[in-house]
Amino acid sequence: MALIAVKHNIEVAHRLYESLPGNKCENIHGHSMWVTLELKGEIKDGLLEGIDFGSLKKDFRGHLDEHYDHRLLLNASDPLAGPIFPIGQAEPSGWQNSSTGEEEPILYEVQVEKQMWLPGLQTFVGDPTTENIAQDIGLFMRAGYPRIHAVEVWETSVNMARWENWNG
């Protein structure tokens, strides 16, 4: 049995909206994270399970750069993960009909044209904890590389989470 590993760093900002109410991690804060992907298997013709190491590195690092690096990671149910509107164009709930005085809804299409999103926003199902980030990366990479053994995400030089693939 042999093991190969690929390591890459990502710069992320996140906040934990649901996991730790009242904790300082409810504030948006950042980390310089190091992520390690490990694969285990048998060596065949000089390669671990025939995996091209160059392709593995490109796929892994490309995924991290595209979906995590310099991103704001938020829980999809976090109010900060929703659309924002420019000042003076806030989302109105309705308008007054001048003839009846009753409130009537404003068409949603008008609102969509004015909405914006936080730059670099990447949403998660649940809070973007270090554990969830490791699992998310592992499950994505496992689709193309079923021999994945583990993903480690170091959020600081002394704190990390590890997801292990029990199916591989």
What are the φ/ψ torsions at residue 2 (nearest 5 degrees)? -130, 160
Instruction: Map out the domains of the chain with their CATH numbers.
Output: 2-72+122-164 (3.30.479.10)
Among 140, 138, 159, smallest CA distance to 149 is for 138
pLDDT tens digit sequence for 41-86: 999 889 999 999 999 999 999 999 999 999 999 999 999 998 876 6
Helices H / strands E in the chain, number of each: 3, 10
Global pTM?
0.82
